[in-house]
A and B are shown apart, each in its own frame.
Chain A
């Protein structure tokens, strides 16, 4: 995979435990920006330990650099623990709220359709209906696509939360998430191509 500048791109999934202090997110976001990482998704919430938040990032960037994202995060003083779970056996979920346009004719059809996805209808209004879905990216994507036939008005996604599996089962995915599609492939070699030469004097 290469990006617009022809630089080999990589994607990592990272979880981090960070001190819950003002400015922490700005520090992390600033570091990502400076190193040329793009945050594909970000989820933040309180963790099981008081004073600490847990963040889950999906980060894209030049491959040689993005491989260092965990080390770069760990340099930040307020980041207590970082795990790069990209190549690990993990479970991940994302939640989405999808508001779709309805007419008296389509309403029941939509309710039937979303039933197949085992999702909850959380709001019903005269001209719209909102459903809540939890799952992997492809599951959410396909529901959004299906509902778009009726006119999707709004999609709110939380971004991915992930954790390592506690079981002994090996193998990468939960069936909804292809590790290979998002995992970084390691292309070893003695060099990483031209170092970003600054060309400066």
Chain B
């Protein structure tokens, strides 16, 4: 036992939790913590340009590494700037721990300078949060925060610490055990639930797996594959489940829903058994619940029982950690071939070439992604923003490596692409990280290019630049009678010059034949690169199931 300041205790505790990198930006209330950082060189602090960048970078770091991402911010505006990033992490179940400075204890509740009730403000967008009022409580709180963030259904946890608590001294011992009587994340499932699931799977003639983000969170790639192969069950992934199952596998059927492949949506529709694994039946997949996969018996495997029967009524629920559940399930599942059904799926794939790219001389976003996929052999880490480019990346990149797709699925946060890619690159330093950006999203967080340059992070940014909020244009075309309002960016910056201003290599591509050389040049460049792919018109993303509808209303090709 030794006496340390609150700031030192934070650092010691983070190190005990295995943290080696923190994304943050200081301010008055958190300066005492920054004042101790020099004593802890093993904690690498990456100075961001905006706290939203810190939260998204911690999120990208976490998704890419499977570890907890950490962000620091000061009180008031620093803390509120984290909010979009925390909400993004919450919706996608990403373990992030945010440590915020708060005004001194005496000032709390007085509307002191830069005071925000950040624990109050983040109640609905964190898995849990804390206001720590004594230095002696910091260590146990941080231990709890990491445990809660990373176990069960993961999520962000915020720890708010008043300025003078960082300065206060306390005896430091890192607690060995946790005192969380109300927190018991499920592990293995009940035998009865397993038996019920096995019955549905073994008696199915047309089974399909819907594999979600839970498979990635639980690192259950091998177990999923074992189940699919043993009983020859086609695998549809959710948008966030992408890269939990190799897309070059014969049983891979893409992703369903609003902009998913028609054959994936049809596979769910034609199935007589649907095994949802670590997914939450999001409305972008389900659409009209009364018409969703009507002919199937449904098994829902998830760690969070609050997801059961929320959007879709299911027949069997299996509560537990996906990997442990699959370990329990797989030995009991009968070997099967489901030949006719697998052939039917092959047929659907042939009949519905959802990934056909229109023939044209113009440069298309779809082609850029297709080329990127081919050049990198489906082995790059791909991070995206939100919009058309995101959907094209999901559709046309053929992911062959586990956990190589990072995208804001639940919140749909534009601007995620720039900082999250930075975090992913920090997590996987030797690997190729491509960030597929919209010109809209890119401009929301492009200030982090300075952070990328400063830390020599070799992220490759591909802007699919249509000079529009492309997805907005598409919706206005389809649902608002082509009434285009506030969808055009008529004075976009010169992204090549912009990159150069940050000291980053910039490339511009206007023609189809320049695509592959530019990708190769970016891959071969040791530092960060911004490639401005100029797409001169807004195309639409297809297939499309309009929101709240079903596969019956699926629009396969341009009208």
Contact = CB atoms under 8 A, between A and B. Distances in A.
A102 B205 CA distance: 77
A71 B182 contact: no
A192 interface: yes
A193 to B, nearest CB: 6
A31 B124 CA distance: 7
A195 to B, nearest CB: 4
B128 interface: yes
Given A30-B123, A80-B181, A195-B283, A75 B547 contact: no
Interface size class of A (residues with CB under 8 A): 35 or more
A194 B290 contact: yes
A167 interface: no
B283 to A, nearest CB: 4
Interface in A114-146: none
Interface string B455-494: 0000000000000000110010000000000000000000
A79 B182 contact: yes
Contacts of A19: 181-182
B283 A196 contact: yes
Given A190-B290, A191-B291, A198-B283, A76 B182 contact: yes
A112 interface: no
B306 A68 contact: yes
B12 to A, nearest CB: 24
B289 A193 contact: yes
Contacts of A74: 305-306
Contact of A78 (B182, B294, B309): B182
Nearest to A27: B123
| B127, B305, B306, B548 interface centre (most CB from chain A within 10 Å) | B306
A85 interface: no
Interface residues of B, number: 37
A68 B305 CA distance: 8
Interface string B530-551: 0000000000000000011000
A192 B289 contact: yes
Interface stretch (B77-85, B190-198, B310-318): B310-318
Interface in B276-327: 281, 283, 286-292, 294, 304-306, 308-313
Contacts of B281: 195
A195 B311 contact: yes
Nearest to A71: B306
A38 interface: no
Nearest to A17: B182
A49 to B, nearest CB: 10
A50 interface: no
B182 A67 contact: no
A27 B122 CA distance: 10
A191 B294 CA distance: 8
A23 B119 contact: yes
| B127, B183, B304 interface centre (most CB from chain A within 10 Å) | B183
Nearest to A82: B182
B439 to A, nearest CB: 16
Contacts of A168: none
B286 A77 contact: no
B180 interface: yes
B389 to A, nearest CB: 14
Contacts of A76: 128, 182
Interface in A153-201: 188-201
Contacts of A191: 288-292, 294, 312-313
Contacts of A26: 120, 123
B120 A200 contact: no
A73 to B, nearest CB: 9
A180 to B, nearest CB: 22
A193 B290 contact: yes
Nearest to A72: B306
Contact of B148 (A72, A77, A194): A77
B279 to A, nearest CB: 14
A130 to B, nearest CB: 36
B470 to A, nearest CB: 11
B283 A75 contact: no
A83 interface: no
B527 interface: no
Contact of A195 (B127, B131, B148, B287): B287
Nearest to B412: A200
15 contacts: A27-B123, A30-B124, A68-B306, A71-B306, A75-B306, A76-B182, A77-B180, A190-B290, A191-B289, A191-B312, A192-B309, A193-B290, A195-B548, A201-B471, A201-B472
Interface of A: 18-19, 23, 26-27, 30-31, 34, 64-65, 67-68, 71-72, 74-81, 188-201
Given A81-B182, A199-B547, 18 more contacts: A18-B182, A19-B182, A31-B124, A64-B309, A68-B310, A74-B306, A76-B128, A80-B181, A191-B291, A191-B292, A191-B294, A191-B312, A192-B312, A193-B289, A194-B290, A195-B286, A195-B287, A197-B283
